[in-house]
Structure formats: C-alpha cells, structure tokens
Amino acid sequence: MNFTLYKSKDTTNPRKKHRRILTSETERLSYVGNNFGTSALKCNSLCRYFVGVLDKDSGQMEVYNAELFNMQPLLSDDVIEDDLSDYQSKSYREKVDSCIEAFGSNKQKRALNSRRMNQVGNETLNMAVTRAAENIIGAKGVATLVSDAAQDDVEEVSLFLPPCHEEADKPENVYRFEDLISSAEYEALQAPAAALTNLTSEEILKKPEEESLCSFVLEDLKSMPVDESSRDHKARCLWFLDTLIKFSYKKVIKKKCPMGPDCPRIINKKLMKNFTALTYNSGRIQNLISASMKAKITAYVVALALHINKFQIDLTLLQRDMKLHETRMLDIAKAMRLKISKKKGLPGLGADEDHKFGTLSLPLPSYKPSGGQRKRKKMD
C-alpha cells in the first residue's frame, strides 16, 4: 500500500503547523487518518513515538520521530446505484438469507447451509416417495391397496380387544369368560365381592348417594339372583367391572397397588401388566394409562358386561360411567361385532331419552372400520 502525507501550510500558527493528514488507496477503498480533530488519537499528546531503522551491514540503528494515525475508510457520495429489481423480486426469506451470507456470524452461516442442504434432501426424498408410490399403485392397483389398509385397521383394533372366537357356536364363547378373568383371579375376587353379595335392598338404594359404585353396577345390584352360587358369581363380576372402570380414571400410576390394599394383589398385578403402558419421564420409568389403554379397558368392560347381562347391555350407561364420548364407545362396540340398537333407558336413568344398546348374537356382523374424517353436517 502506498501512503501520502499532507502537511498544513500555515506554519506560523502554533496550533495548525503540526497538523497532518495521511491517505492511502486500495482497489476497493480509500483510507484517511489525521492527528487533529475528534478522530485524532490522544496517545500522541501523552508520549512520543519513534521508529528505528537498522542497517544490517553496519549493525547501527537510526531513530526517527514517529506519530500514530488511525486510518478509517473514506466512503464517497459518488456511488453508482445498484439495480434493485432482482432484490425486490425476492421473498422475505431469500432477503434474510442474503443478509446472513453477507453479514451473518459463522454460526448463522452454518445454520443457513444446513437448512439449504436439508431442503435439497427433502425435495429428493419427496420425489423418491412419489415415484415409489406411483410404482406400488401401478403394480397393485387402488382397490387392492384400499383393501390392505382396511385389513391393517382391523388388525390394529384387534390388538386392544379381548380374544375373539368368531367360529363360536354360542354368544358366551365369542369372548370367553376365562379370557377375561382367570381361575386364580376369580378365586381372589371372593373376599372383596362378599360386600356386594350381602347388600340389602335398603343399602343398595343408599349407594347412589355415597357415589362408591358406578351406575351400571348399581342397576345390576337391584336384580341380583336368589340362588347363592349365581349371586356370588355375579357379585364377583360386578366388583371386578367396577374396579376396571375406576382404574380407567387414572392417568399416571405411581403405586404398586393402584387400587389400594382392599384390592387383591393378583388383581392389582393384572391391571398394571395388561392395562398400562410404560413411559420414560423425568429420568424414571412410569406406568401410564394412554388413550389406547383406556380403549382396551373399555373393551374388557364391555365383554364382561355382556356376560353379566345375558349379552345385551346399555352402552349409554357404560359410556357415561367410563367418561367417554358416545362415538368412541360405539366404535369400540362395533369393533367387538355388537349389533347396535336404540331404545328408552331404564327408569331413573334417563327413561325419557334414547339409549344405545349393544347385543352380541350369532352370526357376527362384519366389522368395517370408519375411514377418513366424518362428514360435516350442512348448516342451513
């Protein structure tokens, strides 16, 4: 770089005779610095600077007075205006990217490059997926794909339903009782169910005020059989059904015995093993009742209620006990191959309104999962 030094011509004025202006030019910018005014360095007035020039042949150094200049770029007003048509046609995102390329930090530039690489990768992936989908549709055909999707839906739903024996010759063999309650669990239910077995009519009428039992169980307690063996069997089933419904209200299970000490250990273990999902939260594993697990509990409640009520049940009553939407309960009932009907509810339980009833009868109706969104009602 070449420099040019300008001196003040006013040598008589003691304040101006020492003024100097230093300039330099490069291909891109011009620089200027001076030792007076606001841009001058104050260090020149506080001390003296020298430059030493060493003669390598003689080994002697000559010392010269020196002065420091702070060189600043000189921006001229005679700048040719750029063509802004391309810039104005860009989107806001492209303008921001241009600013990051010119003035952004290294971190911002790396993020910009990474985003652009991902964008290219996504475009390539979308093209590959589209091409693969076209090949599959061309090879299988739309009808076959729709059939496969429906079959997948049926298999997915069946994961949360009790074992279904479609070839059964009787309704009681479609969802077998032993698949719902094992013999060991059935024996363990004797002690807690004894309280229901010995309830009198007066005590049953007081139960709704206590809110200790769900509505479905309270209704069935009013029609308990006289035979001691049948009465004990129904009490055990009702107690387990009531426990399943109350268990579905929980969200995260934090205790090994979620239903308390009065619930047999084998029942608590069954609930934790069969009706909860493991999740990792806050550094530890927890048992969670997810939406799919609640659907599974509902399916087992429906199956058990069918055995209790001779394979016809009030779905509306169960739906309210389970705190579900009606559409959700009906979807589960249809997946379990029940025939849905509508009639008035029982006295005292909305007798003036229609209730949905589910009936298990042979032959089983075919199950068609509802696909896509439900049709919206037209507004007048």
Predicted confidence (pLDDT) at residue 6 exceeds the cutoff of 80: yes
Locus of tokens 């030792």: 35
Confidence (pLDDT) at 347: 61
So what's the pLDDT on residue 371? 54
Residues 6+ apart with CB under 8 A from 214: 242, 245, 246, 321
State whether the Cα torsion 210-350-307-248 is positive or negative.
negative
Q: What is the mean pLDDT of residues 89-99?
A: 85
Boundaries of every domain in the chain: 2-74, 92-157, 160-345+352-359
What is residue 154's predicted lDDT score, i.e. its pLDDT?
Answer: 47
pTM: 0.57
- pLDDT of 379 strictly over 50: no
In the predicted structure, residue 149 carries a pLDDT above the cut 70: no
pLDDT of residue 205: 78
Choice among 42-56, 114-128, 297-311 with the minimum mean pLDDT: 114-128
Mean pLDDT, to the nearest integer, of 77-85? Answer: 59
* 8 CB-near residues (< 8 Å, 6+ apart): 16, 17, 18, 19, 20
pLDDT band at 147 (very low <50, low <70, confident <90, very high): low
Report residue 350's pLDDT band, with 50, 70 and 90 as the boundaries: low
**Residue 39 pLDDT grade (very low, low, confident, very high; cuts 50, 70, 90):** confident
Residue 135 pLDDT > 60, yes or no? yes
User: What digits encode the pLDDT tens for the residues 253-262?
Assistant: 877 788 888 8
Report whether 61 contacts 55 (CB < 8 A): yes
Position 372 scores a pLDDT of: 47
Tens-digit pLDDT profile for residues 291-320 = 889 999 999 999 999 999 999 999 999 999
Q: Are 279 and 285 in contact (CB under 8 A)?
A: yes
What pLDDT is attached to residue 94? 85
Residue 54 has pLDDT above 60, yes or no: yes
Mean pLDDT (whole number) for 175-179: 94
Instruction: Indicate if the pLDDT at residue 124 is higher than 80.
Output: no
Q: How confident is the model at residue 146, as a pLDDT?
A: 58
Give the model's confidence band at 238: pLDDT under 50 very low, under 70 low, under 90 confident, else very high.
very high
pLDDT of 80 above 60: no
Determine the pLDDT at residue 346: 66
Give every CB contact of residue 369 below 8 A, 6+ residues apart in sequence: 150, 153, 154, 157, 335
Please give the average per-residue pLDDT across 217-245, as a whole number. 91
Looking at per-residue confidence, does 181 or 114 come out higher? 181
pLDDT at residue number 38: 78
Provide the pLDDT for residue 128.
79
* Token digits of residue 13: 């004025």
